[in-house]
């Protein structure tokens, strides 16, 4: 399964084999999105299905393998099913024919540990109605809702869709703006956007587009320039910009160009505040200066892309950190939301990308093991600002803090 591909609410469908999970998704979507069979275990790996829900918008359903799968291979499938808990905003547990037990109890405990809101649906109502014992058991689990479903009756669907709509946390589909709270009507924002080998052909990268849209949504004015034109343009701009946003890779150049009285930050730091764990980033970033020889640093890319010869995460950031610390450091890069190659405690620092292609919940859950283990975490843009010596200025628009962090430098 390609996880984290879309920054939209993710809904996981869980249950035993042959409990009707794939049928349920097909009925909700009105399409044959998942293979349906009487043979238990037809769905072997989690599979993403995108659809639109009225009043909510686009969502991604994740059809998972049965939680009662058996044997060595079955246990691997169950593990993959459990890994989806890191990516979802709502879980739906399907039970059928009033059967529930240890597997369901263990899964519900996982929902609670990952703080995932969940609902319980009794499936195959046309075969056997939910009885009182099952209803009492379900109520004890304190789900957001308990519903019933039959593949041969459509009258249940509207109620289920309404429950889904009301149960997904608003933060899953409504995020705070990137810069809106920093602006007032008519403010001018300059965006410095280099066009280099890593820039996509014929278009801007997503964070740049999102920033422009947020500026316009807040009745401000966006001016977009390349770094070569920024210096000359900012000298003659009237009025001068209320904020300058730059690509992290040219932070030092932008710092020299932009007068000190004008706030300056980066697209990546804006994303760190909007979607990441900004407070833990603030705590973790200074720990770059504490890195020692042979420390291992984990870089988390939340999407997959063609790697260039001067890739930001795989090449530039390691080079900048090595030059800054003067230490011999080992780096590992994990793309998408794939499993880590080693225990999180083996790392001295975790650096998360901006996360423009995934949800905030996915980023928070991605970083959760590191934070719980006391491993410092930071963000691409904040790490770059630190090693380039302009961190206080880069975070000042959000914190008002201009400390030089002399204890770390």
Q: Which CATH number does the domain housing residue 330 bear?
A: 3.40.50.11410
- Any residues with CB less than 8 A from the CB of 150 and at least 6 apart, and which? 123, 124, 125, 126, 156
Report residue 354 as tokens.
């901006």
In this predicted structure, what is the pLDDT of residue 165?
85
Note the pLDDT of residue 361: 83
| Structural domains in the chain (count) | 3
Is 167 in the same domain as 103?
yes
Residue 167 and residue 146 share a domain: yes
Q: Is residue 407 part of a domain?
A: no
Same domain, 45 and 167: yes
Do 166 and 158 meet the contact criterion of CB atoms below 8 Å apart?
no
Q: Is residue 18 part of a domain?
A: yes
CATH label of the domain that carries residue 208: 3.40.50.11420
User: Whose CA is closest to 56, among 153, 193, 224, 169?
Assistant: 169
pLDDT of residue 12: 94
Residues 116 and 153 both lie in one domain? yes
Is 73 strand, coil or helix? helix
Residue 239 token pair: 């009025």
pLDDT (0 to 100) of residue 403: 56
pLDDT of residue 225: 94
Joined tokens for residue 257: 């160009």
Q: Based on the fold, state whether residues 36 and 167 are members of the same structural domain.
A: yes
By the 8 A CB rule, do 294 and 329 touch?
yes
In this structure, the answer to whether residues 166 and 257 fall within a common structural domain is no
Report pLDDT digits (tens) over 366-389: 999 999 999 999 999 999 999 999
**What is the C-alpha to C-alpha distance for residues 311 and 297, in angstroms, rounded to an integer?**
16
Instruction: Answer whether residue 5 is part of any domain.
Output: no
**CATH, residue 83:** 3.40.50.300
> What does the angle CA 103 – CA 105 – CA 110 come to, to the nearest 5 degrees?
95
pLDDT at site 196: 65
State how far the Cα of 248 lies from the Cα of 261, in Å rounded to an integer. 19
Q: Are 291 and 264 in the same domain?
A: no
**Co-location of 53 and 124 in the same domain:** yes
Is residue 332 a part of any domain in this protein?
yes
Domain assignment present for 98: yes
The last residue of one of the domains, among 156, 172, 188, is 172
Among 269, 298, 329, the domain-final residue is 269
Q: Is 405 part of a structural domain of the chain?
A: no
**Last residue of one domain, picked from the residues 155, 172, 189:** 172
For residues 49 and 144, state if they share a domain.
Answer: yes
* 406 belongs to a structural domain: no
Contact of 66 with 173, CB cutoff 8 Å:
no
Q: Residue 340: which domain range?
A: 277-399
> Does residue 255 sit in helix, strand or coil?
helix
Q: Which ranges of the chain have pLDDT less than 50? A: 1-6, 33-43, 305-309
Q: Where are the alpha helices (DSSP H) in 141-226?
A: 157-167, 206-217
Mark whether 55 and 197 lie in a shared domain. no
Residues 297 and 351 occupy one common structural domain:
yes
**Helix/strand/coil for 136:** helix
> pLDDT tens for residues 311-346?
788 899 999 999 999 999 999 999 877 789 999 999
Task: Judge whether 3 lies within some domain.
Answer: no
pLDDT of res. 162: 87
Task: Write out the two tokens for 346.
Answer: 């083996």
- Give, in degrees to the nearest 5, the angle at Cα 283 between 351 and 210: 55
CA distance 18 to 224: 54
Q: Are 248 and 301 in the same domain?
A: no
Against a cut of 0.85, is the pTM above it?
A: no
């Amino acid at each position: 399964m390609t996880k984290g591909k879309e920054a939209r609410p993710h809904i996981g469908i869980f249950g035993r084999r042959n409990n009707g999970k794939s049928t349920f998704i097909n009925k909700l979507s009105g399409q044959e999105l998942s293979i349906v069979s009487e043979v238990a275990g037809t769905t072997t790996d989690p599979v993403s299905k995108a659809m639109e829900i009225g009043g909510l918008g686009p969502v991604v359903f994740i059809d998972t393998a049965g939680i009662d799968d058996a044997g060595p291979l079955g246990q691997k499938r169950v593990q993959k099913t459990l890994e989806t808990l890191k990516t979802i905003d709502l879980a739906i547990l399907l039970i059928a024919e009033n059967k529930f037990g240890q597997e369901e109890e263990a899964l519900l405990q996982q929902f609670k540990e990952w703080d995932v809101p969940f609902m319980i649906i009794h499936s195959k109502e046309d075969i056997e109605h939910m009885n009182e014992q099952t209803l009492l058991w379900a109520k004890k689990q304190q789900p957001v809702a308990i519903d019933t479903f039959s593949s041969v009756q459509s009258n249940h669907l509207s109620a289920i869709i309404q429950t889904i709509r009301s149960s997904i946390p608003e933060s899953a589909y409504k995020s705070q703006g990137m810069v809106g709270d920093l602006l007032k009507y008519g403010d001018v924002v300059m965006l410095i956007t280099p066009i280099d080998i890593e820039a996509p052909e014929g278009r801007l990268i997503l964070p740049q587009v999102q920033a422009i849209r947020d500026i316009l949504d807040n009745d401000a004015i966006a001016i977009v320039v390349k770094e070569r034109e920024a210096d000359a343009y900012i000298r003659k701009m009237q009025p001068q910009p209320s904020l300058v946003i730059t690509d992290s890779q040219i932070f030092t150049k932008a710092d020299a160009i932009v007068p000190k009285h004008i706030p300056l930050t980066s697209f990546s730091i804006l994303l760190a505040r909007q979607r990441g764990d900004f407070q833990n980033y603030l705590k973790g970033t200074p720990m770059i200066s504490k890195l020692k020889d042979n420390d291992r640093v984990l870089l988390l890319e939340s999407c997959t892309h063609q790697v260039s010869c001067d890739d930001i995460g795989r090449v530039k950031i390691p080079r900048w950190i090595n030059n800054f610390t003067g230490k011999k450091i080992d780096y590992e890069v994990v793309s998408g939301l794939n499993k880590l190659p080693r225990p999180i405690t083996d790392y001295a620092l975790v650096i998360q990308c901006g996360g423009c292609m995934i949800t905030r919940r996915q980023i928070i859950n991605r970083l959760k093991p590191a934070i719980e283990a006391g491993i410092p975490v930071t963000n691409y843009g904040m790490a770059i600002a630190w090693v380039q010596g302009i961190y206080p200025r880069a975070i000042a628009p959000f914190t008002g803090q201009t400390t030089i962090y002399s204890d770390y430098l």
